[in-house]
């Protein structure tokens, strides 16, 4: 391509750069909105508008066939990074449904990689708005503009970023003695992607088994993160107790946060090694737990707590059981075990917990 043509395209780029930046922002926000609407989880969504220097380098490559600015299909770019490699296809279906796909400029690199070759596996779609979406006022100025959307798993992303940092884009560029190591790493990452999917599926099946077991009336299930999560989200008595305690605080029970890191460490200390024993402990201490929360709330111990999560009753149970012997030293040991507070703060916190427990117990037995 002659220098005059490059200069013309760059001048056009300078004139429309702000428009492309706005288009990039709009595409990134829309992609996130669409994925969240489908409850598809992702690690990150990033975006960029190609810089002038990057565009100039692209135009000056020998293989460049760009005659005008509109021929450059990656001026706006959005990257979606998933947790699992099978989520790439799920997100691809959303993109195919919501946008027009420029098939000639899109490429699924996962399909182009030979089984015995190294490389990162990524899906690249060049998309543009459909007529109906382009008719909307917020997108009307972007009619006909194209954006490259890349979708890859977090491990695929790690490979691509490290490979890019090392400066090698093709196998032929890599010194022969290093190629075998590249291939081994690529294989490990692919195995890792597959194993993470298998682990996720196994955990989901385990949670389903726990839920069925609980529904059948059996609770001889060991305590672990998955069983606690399932129990507190599905057991009607546990959910009712969560709501009762949250109501004392004027708080709402929400999804998202978890206390499992504290509960799984604490319960064995208190002799709770199964869902059956947890259920019994919650039933047996429900009254004093409610009193404890009421006393603590009255003292401003929790601050202005507006939300709690499923399993909050389990957390309160730990506080009550830690303080039941009215020993500040035992409470300090427990606070240290679960990493609550700093070393200087724990003695005062322990004393307050013992006092609040004493008041709650006195009220409960009066």
- Residue 191 φ/ψ region, left for φ over 0, alpha for ψ in the -120 to 50 degree band, beta for the rest: alpha
Nearest to 287 by CA among 234, 244, 345: 244
DSSP 3-state assignment of 271?
A: coil
Residues near 319 by beta carbon (within 8 Å), at least 6 away in sequence: 292, 353
Q: Is the pTM of this model over 0.85?
A: no
User: Is the pLDDT confidence value at 251 over 90?
Assistant: yes
User: Is the pLDDT confidence value at 218 over 80?
Assistant: no
Question: What does CATH list as the number for 3-191?
Answer: 3.30.460.10
Q: Which two tokens stand for residue 103?
A: 């098939």
pLDDT of 116? 43
User: Is the pLDDT confidence value at 1 over 50?
Assistant: no
pLDDT of 363? 85
Mean pLDDT over 132-140 rounds to 94
* Angle at which helices 328-338 and 346-365 cross, to 10°: 120
- Greatest mean pLDDT range, 62-66, 80-84, 232-236: 80-84
Mean pLDDT over 34-39 rounds to 94
- More confident: 7 or 4: 7
Round to whole Å and give the CA distance between 275 and 289: 18
Mean pLDDT over 45-52 rounds to 95
User: Is the pLDDT confidence value at 282 over 50?
Assistant: yes
Mean pLDDT over 64-81 rounds to 92
pLDDT of 338? 93
Residue 77 bridge partners (DSSP): 48, 148
pLDDT of 66? 86
pLDDT of 209? 87
Domains of the chain by residue range: 3-191, 225-365
């Amino acid at each position: 391509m002659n220098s005059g043509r490059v200069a013309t395209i760059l001048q056009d780029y300078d004139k429309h750069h702000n428009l492309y930046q706005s288009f990039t922002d709009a595409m990134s926000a829309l992609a996130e909105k669409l994925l969240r609407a489908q409850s598809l989880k992702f690690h990150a969504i990033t975006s960029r508008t190609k810089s002038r220097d990057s565009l100039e380098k692209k135009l000056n490559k020998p293989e460049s066939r760009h005659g005008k600015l509109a021929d450059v299909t990656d001026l706006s770019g959005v990257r979606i990074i998933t947790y699992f490699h099978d989520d790439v296809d799920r997100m691809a279906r959303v993109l195919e449904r919501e946008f027009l796909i420029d098939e000639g400029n899109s490429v699924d690199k996962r399909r182009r990689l030979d089984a015995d070759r190294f490389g990162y596996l990524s899906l690249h779609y060049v998309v543009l708005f459909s007529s109906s979406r382009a008719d909307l006022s917020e997108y009307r100025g972007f009619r006909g503009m194209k954006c490259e959307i890349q979708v890859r798993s977090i491990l695929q992303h790690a490979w691509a970023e490290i490979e890019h940092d090392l400066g090698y884009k093709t196998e032929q560029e890599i010194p022969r003695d290093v190629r075998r190591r590249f291939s081994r790493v690529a294989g490990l990452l692919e195995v890792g992607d597959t194993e993470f999917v298998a682990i996720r599926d196994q955990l989901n099946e385990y949670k389903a088994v726990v839920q069925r077991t609980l529904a059948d009336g059996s609770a001889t299930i060991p305590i672990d993160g998955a069983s606690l999560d399932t129990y507190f989200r599905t057991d009607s008595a546990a959910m009712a107790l969560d709501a009762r305690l949250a109501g004392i605080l004027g708080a709402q029970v929400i999804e998202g946060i978890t206390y499992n890191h504290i509960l799984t460490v604490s319960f064995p200390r208190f002799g709770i090694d199964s869902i059956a024993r947890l259920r019994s402990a919650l039933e047996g201490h429900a009254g004093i737990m409610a009193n404890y929360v009421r006393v603590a709330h009255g003292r401003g111990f929790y601050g202005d707590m507006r939300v709690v999560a499923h399993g909050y009753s389990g957390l309160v149970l730990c506080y009550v059981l830690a303080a039941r012997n009215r020993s500040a030293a035992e409470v300090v040991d427990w606070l240290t075990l679960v990493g609550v507070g700093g070393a200087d703060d724990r003695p005062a916190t322990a004393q307050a917990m013992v006092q609040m427990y004493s008041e709650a117990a006195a009220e409960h037995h009066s």
